[in-house]
Amino acid sequence: MPKRPPRPKEPFILWWMPVVAVIAPLIWAAWIGASADADGLEEALMALIWPGVALYFGALALLWGGWKIELE
């Protein structure tokens, strides 16, 4: 019986996934900052913190889940 070649170890998370996931919070914060009545920078920073963190981890989870499903 021939031996199978060793399967290459795949990374837990690809390098581009966090980069792509950060796009949604940045767009959201820019939108909130641009549409704020006063002190747009403060509003943009607050939007980047919340819900930006949730958007980031949600997008990262979706990308990772889709990648894992595609592999199996």
**pLDDT level of residue 1 (50, 70, 90 thresholds):** low
As a whole number of Å, the CA-based R_g of the chain is 19
pLDDT at 52 > cutoff 90: yes
- What is the tens place of the pLDDT at every residue in 12-40? 888 899 999 999 999 999 999 999 999 99
User: CA-to-CA distance for 72 and 43, rounded, in angstroms?
Assistant: 42
- Residue 68: its pLDDT value, please? 84
User: CA-to-CA distance for 14 and 56, rounded, in angstroms?
Assistant: 15
Domain extents for the chain? 16-71
Query: Is-contact 63 31, C-beta < 8 A?
Result: no
Percent of the chain beyond pLDDT 70? 96
Average pLDDT over residues 42-63: 94
The amino acid occupying position 66 is G
